[in-house]
């Protein structure tokens, strides 16, 4: 036995490798923790995050918008002006149509008034003619005959044939029978009384006055009882007669009587004349 074997050693006993490893790991972990804590304490605090909302950028072309608005306003103005012109034209057309209708109505009324006046005049003339004929009949019955108021004789028994100029006159007059009576008519389609007598005598080369008054005094007066074909019959006073006709023989006459009858050949008894003149 050595001397040192029973002398206790003063050195610390060696620790086992495993214990050393554990302690080293613990120390490392502590140091690592401290290091991280230090680092964390040295790092400044993070700034708060602020969220920013970006607004859309308005990229407006104001000049284009203004130009478009001005153009639209101008179009509206032109449309309004055009509509105004159309309204004016329509109103003018309505006014013109109304004026034309009014004028047509006035013309129609004037025509109707003229026709009414002409008819009234014809009726008045016919009435006056009949009244005068009635008056002539009364005068003849009172002044003709002998002694005790005998009536005038009629030429109904006179049957002298028409010859020469008288035949030409009567042939023309008979050819007009059935044509219209028109006041102032001188043929060939219509006649008044004196116009027919004048035209008939023209066939014999004799020119008579145009109206019944002068015709009733043209030639020589003859009695109604001595009539010959071609004599001029008149109604009213000689020289101012209002109606004339032509004696056609056999107690008949041809004359343009009135608008209702036109040119006719009738018996003297239908409307006895006032007197007669002979031209041939």
Q: Where are the beta strands (DSSP E) in the chain?
A: 180-181, 190-191, 220-222, 232-235, 243-249, 252-258, 262-267, 275-278
What residue ranges define each of the domains in the chain, with the CATH number in brackets?
Answer: 155-278 (3.90.1720.10)
| Cα distances (Å, whole numbers) of residue 102 to 92, 105, 109, 145 | 15, 5, 10, 65
Could you identify the residue written with the tokens 């001029």?
232
Q: What is the pLDDT along the chain (280 residues), one digit of tens a residue?
A: 445 555 555 555 555 555 555 455 555 565 555 555 555 444 555 555 555 555 555 555 566 776 777 788 888 888 888 888 888 888 877 787 778 888 888 887 877 777 777 666 666 666 665 655 555 444 444 433 333 333 334 444 344 455 679 999 999 999 999 999 999 999 999 999 999 999 999 999 999 999 999 999 999 999 999 999 999 999 999 999 999 999 999 999 999 999 999 999 999 999 999 999 999 9
Q: What is the pTM of this model?
A: 0.47
What 3-state DSSP class applies to 98?
helix
């Amino acid at each position: 036995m050595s001397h040192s074997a029973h002398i206790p050693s003063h050195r610390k006993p060696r620790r086992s490798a495993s214990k050393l490893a554990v302690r080293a790991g613990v120390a490392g972990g502590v140091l690592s923790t401290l290091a991280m804590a230090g680092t964390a304490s040295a790092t400044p605090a993070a700034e708060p995050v602020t969220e920013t909302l970006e607004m859309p950028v308005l990229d407006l072309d104001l000049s284009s918008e203004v130009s478009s608005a001005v153009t639209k306003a101008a179009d509206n103005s032109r449309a309004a002006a055009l509509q105004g012109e159309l309204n004016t034209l329509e109103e003018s057309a309505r006014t013109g149509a109304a004026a034309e209708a009014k004028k047509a109505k006035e013309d129609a009324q004037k025509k109707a008034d003229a026709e009414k006046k002409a008819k009234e005049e014809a009726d008045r003339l016919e009435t006056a003619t009949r009244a005068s004929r009635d008056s002539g009949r009364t005068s003849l019955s009172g002044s003709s005959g002998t002694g005790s108021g005998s009536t005038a004789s009629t030429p109904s028994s006179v049957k002298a044939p028409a010859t020469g100029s008288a035949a030409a006159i009567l042939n023309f007059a008979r050819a007009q029978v059935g044509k219209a009576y028109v006041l102032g008519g001188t043929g060939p389609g219509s006649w008044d009384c004196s116009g027919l007598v004048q035209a008939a005598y023209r066939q014999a080369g004799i020119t008579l006055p145009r109206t019944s008054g002068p015709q009733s005094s043209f030639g020589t007066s003859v009695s109604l009882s001595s009539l010959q074909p071609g004599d001029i019959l008149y109604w009213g006073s000689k020289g101012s007669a209002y109606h004339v006709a032509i004696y056609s023989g056999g107690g008949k006459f041809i004359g343009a009587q009135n608008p209702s009858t036109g040119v006719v050949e009738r018996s003297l008894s239908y409307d006895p004349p006032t007197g007669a003149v002979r031209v041939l």
